[in-house]
Amino acid sequence: MTSDDLDAIFKALADPTRRRIVDRLAARPRQSLFELCAGAVAEGQPAMSRQAVSQHLDVLERAGLVRVEWSGRTKLHALELGPLKAAQAAWLGRYLAEEAG
Amino acid sequence: MTSDDLDAIFKALADPTRRRIVDRLAARPRQSLFELCAGAVAEGQPAMSRQAVSQHLDVLERAGLVRVEWSGRTKLHALELGPLKAAQAAWLGRYLAEEAG
DNA sequence: TTGACATGCAAGTATTTGCTTGCCTATAAA
DNA sequence: TTTATAGGCAAGCAAATACTTGCATGTCAA
């Protein structure tokens, strides 16, 4: 866990659209790009272009927070919590409250 | 803790220089702007101009992570962990490992 | 094979970020 | 009062971001 890794992780989480993508992938893993676009609309949020969502997913993927699996022509995305827990161990944990239960 | 608050907190932590400032304030609270500039050099890091450090402190202060207290012409900075713990409670905690010990 | 679908790639643009430079204000010390 | 010190304000600039538009590629179905 280098300083650059922490940069990428915090930067990825610093955007509300990306945090919503994380939340949707936590609720249901293995979603395609189109499913994630539709999910935004389903939650009553402003529609996002496919390219915009794709670029957000790239940011999350480069931070290691999203893992990708191809199934034919469909790219399935799922949450990867390892880097976040590593960030907690490497830096964030010093400053966080101990989690209650 | 609004989504904007989370934006500000994660964005503030997404820069290595700002994380080092946080670390230095954790090690010793109530440091002035000049002390924080000197601290960078003392740690063997590249010197930073007063204005650059000041702008980083503004970002941390706007995120609520740094609390300021004036003493004469000296502005003393200290770490404020409340917002970080609030961010953990509001969002981050869902995805973090339970802290060992 | 043809056409529809899921996604990638690349260029263009407006905004933000990180940093610098130059000048100004206010407090403290000589 | 003069001078040095701690910091603020504002403009300028290169790089990064967030998003769009247009076109290309690869996969599946009819």
In this predicted model, what pLDDT tens digit does every residue of B27-66 receive, in sequence order?
999 999 999 999 999 999 888 999 999 999 999 999 999 9
Instruction: With respect to residue B59, please indicate whether it lies within any of the assigned structural domains.
Output: yes
Does A99 reside within a domain?
no
Which residue from A15, A19, A99 is facing B96, i.e. has the nearest CB? A99
Question: Which CATH number characterizes residue A70's domain?
Answer: 1.10.10.10
A→B interface, C-beta within 8 Å:
3-4, 6-7, 10-11, 13-16, 19, 22, 26, 79, 81, 84-85, 88-89, 91-99
Are the Cβ atoms of A13 and B10 closer than 8 angstroms?
Answer: yes
Q: Is residue B101 part of a domain?
A: no
Residue A100 counted as domain residue: no
Section B73-91 average pLDDT: 97
- SS3 label, residue A28: coil
Domain boundaries, position A28: 3-91
Q: Is B50 domain-assigned?
A: yes
Pair of tokens at residue A4? 């650059």
Nearest CA-CA distance, residue B11 and chain A, Å: 5
Closest by Cα among A51, A56, A88, A2 to B95: A88
The conformational region for residue B100 under phi > 0 = left, psi -120 to 50 = alpha, else beta, is beta
| Residue B100 within a domain | no
Q: Is residue B57 part of a domain?
A: yes
Protein CA at A35 to nucleotide C1' at C20, angstroms? 45
What angle is formed at CA A94 by the lines to CA A89 and CA A99, rounded to 5 degrees?
80
Per-residue pLDDT in tens (0 to 9) along chain A, 101 residues: 999 999 999 999 999 999 999 999 999 999 999 999 999 999 998 888 999 999 999 999 999 999 999 999 999 999 999 999 999 999 999 999 775 54
Contacts of B91 in chain A (CB under 8 A): 19
Give the separation between CA A81 and CA A19, rounded to whole angstroms: 13
Is A97 part of any domain?
A: no
Q: Domains in chain B: how many in total?
A: 1
Residue B101 confidence (pLDDT) above 50: no
Angle formed at CA B47 by CA A6 and CA B58, multiple of 5 degrees: 60
